[in-house]
């Protein structure tokens, strides 16, 4: 019988039905009130590599996570048919702050027990002090915020690759609601009025998906991670700098320059493609055609459906291609939102390890973009 979280178990950990009904200060208090989360709170310090602008968040406590730093026995013949009970399905999680019904079961959002961001310095006003882009002193700077998990379904084996279209749209809509609440809940002006000055930003929402231990996924139950912080991720800064230097959004540039033969699928409002500068085999990007849209919460229903279909197809393909090339299932999904980007998503299967050349910024790719795009098209069509 498939594992799942029951409604009864959910009710024991339910703290709020809908995240939009909580203020930023109430969200912060829910994090602080949980003693288990406090035990794994991050160090609260961010350092910046002065060469690249890479941000480094420190959390010494995460090394104590029970599922980390131990052998993975899932490929061991003796362990192959022995499935561990899922803690999420048992309801052994932190408090739930958002829940929405799906066609079967429900999706829900809770607080990450092992956060990389924590509201230890979050001001009562709810308006964080933004980390300046050029801050690179050895003493480091304070980093704080929230770290959430969105569980795709109460059913253990349901995720983007095997959920019906309507359910996938629900997942994106709830991510959009959380994103909007975190941004607009701290008195951020509408995205269309945002400028390029750092002091006009009031926080950054990062939405990612890690699947597989090799790329940071420690739990099999399908989920997305959402971070909100005063620290601008370096890729956000890269997108912003690209716009300033070229007077063109990155999304506009790629939609204009990427060769037609690298198109994988056109969804109308969005396209899935292989970038011409592919760093690893089968890397893909999903770009919204209306590049003035910066956030999930700005999308129309048609655009939301297109993005949900793109996530579905890209993840389906990665789950098919990885075992077919002899690789363990491991991939990341990264959302690029905020001013300067246009909304786009990166799908990054772990098809090659990182070597010394890559650490120098010289990537050696064991395939070419044309072949990767052709294989994706063939599978999806």
Give the separation between CA 340 and CA 286, rounded to whole angstroms. 16
Q: Give the tokens for residue 56.
A: 């480094």
Query: Are 338 and 241 in contact, with CB atoms under 8 Å apart?
Result: no
Query: Are 68 and 218 in contact, with CB atoms under 8 Å apart?
Result: yes
SS3 209: strand
- Using a 10 angstrom Cβ sphere, with 0-12 exposed, 13-18 middle and 19 or more buried, the burial of residue 199 is exposed
Query: Are 174 and 296 in contact, with CB atoms under 8 Å apart?
Result: no
Map out the domains of the chain with their CATH numbers: 1-232 (3.30.428.10), 239-381 (3.30.428.10)
Give the separation between CA 22 and CA 20, rounded to whole angstroms. 5
Residue carrying the six token digits 């070229």? 246
- Using a 10 angstrom Cβ sphere, with 0-12 exposed, 13-18 middle and 19 or more buried, the burial of residue 201 is buried
Kindly give the confidence (pLDDT) of every residue in the chain, 381 residues in length, as a single tens digit, with 9 standing for 90 and above.
789 999 999 999 999 999 999 988 899 999 999 999 999 999 988 898 888 889 999 988 887 776 543 444 444 444 444 467 899 999 999 999 999 999 999 999 999 999 999 998 766 655 556 655 555 567 778 889 999 999 999 999 999 999 999 999 999 999 999 999 998 874 333 333 344 444 445 689 999 999 999 998 889 999 999 999 988 899 988 999 999 999 999 999 999 999 999 999 999 999 999 999 999 999 999 999 999 999 999 999 999 999 999 999 999 999 999 999 999 999 999 999 987 778 999 999 999 999 999 999 999 999 999 999 999 999 998
Q: What angle do CA 195, 121, 13 make, to 5 degrees?
A: 105
Query: Are 269 and 306 in contact, with CB atoms under 8 Å apart?
Result: yes
Within 10 angstroms of residue 65's Cβ, the number of other Cβ atoms is 14
Distances (CA, A) of 142 to 89, 118, 132, 158, 229: 35, 11, 11, 38, 10
Query: Are 243 and 249 in contact, with CB atoms under 8 Å apart?
Result: yes
Give the separation between CA 113 and CA 59, rounded to whole angstroms. 13
H-run or E-run covering 331: strand 331-336
Query: Are 115 and 37 in contact, with CB atoms under 8 Å apart?
Result: yes
Query: Are 170 and 133 in contact, with CB atoms under 8 Å apart?
Result: no
Give the separation between CA 257 and CA 78, rounded to whole angstroms. 51
Between helices 234-246 and 250-257, what is the axis angle to 10°?
70
């Amino acid at each position: 019988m498939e594992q799942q979280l029951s409604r009864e178990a959910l009710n024991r950990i339910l703290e709020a039905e809908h995240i939009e009904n909580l203020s930023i200060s109430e969200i912060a208090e829910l994090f602080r009130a949980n003693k288990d989360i406090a035990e794994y709170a991050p160090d609260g310090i961010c350092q910046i590599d002065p060469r690249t602008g890479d941000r480094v968040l420190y959390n010494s406590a995460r090394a104590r996570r029970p599922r980390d730093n131990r052998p993975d026995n899932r490929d061991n013949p003796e362990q192959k048919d022995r499935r561990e009970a899922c803690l999420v399905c048992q309801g052994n999680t932190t408090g739930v702050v958002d829940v929405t019904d799906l066609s079967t079961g429900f999706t829900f959002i809770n607080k990450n027990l092992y956060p990389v961001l924590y509201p230890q310095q979050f001001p009562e006003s709810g308006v964080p002090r933004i980390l300046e882009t050029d801050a690179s002193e050895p003493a480091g700077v304070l980093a704080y915020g929230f770290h959430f998990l969105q569980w795709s379904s109460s059913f253990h084996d349901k995720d983007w690759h095997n959920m019906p279209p309507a359910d996938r749209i629900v997942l994106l809509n709830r991510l959009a609601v959380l994103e909007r609440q975190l941004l607009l809940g701290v008195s951020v002006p509408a995205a269309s009025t945002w400028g390029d000055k750092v002091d006009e930003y009031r926080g950054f929402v990062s939405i990612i998906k890690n699947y597989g231990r090799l790329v940071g996924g420690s739990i099999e139950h399908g989920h997305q991670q959402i971070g909100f912080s005063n620290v601008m991720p370096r890729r956000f800064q890269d997108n912003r700098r690209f716009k300033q230097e070229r007077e063109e959004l990155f999304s506009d540039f790629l939609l204009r320059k990427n060769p037609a033969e690298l198109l994988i699928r056109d969804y109308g409002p969005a396209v899935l493609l292989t970038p011409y500068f592919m760093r690893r085999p089968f890397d893909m990007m999903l770009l919204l055609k209306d590049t003035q849209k910066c956030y999930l919460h700005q999308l129309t229903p048609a655009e939301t459906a297109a993005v949900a279909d793109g996530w579905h197809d890209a993840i389906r393909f990665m789950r098919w291609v990885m075992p077919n090339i002899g690789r363990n299932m491991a991939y990341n999904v990264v959302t690029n939102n905020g001013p300067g980007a246009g909304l786009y998503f990166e799908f990054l299967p772990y098809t090659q390890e990182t070597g010394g050349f890559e650490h120098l910024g010289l990537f050696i790719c064991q395939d070419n973009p044309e072949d990767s795009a052709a294989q994706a098209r063939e599978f999806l069509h």
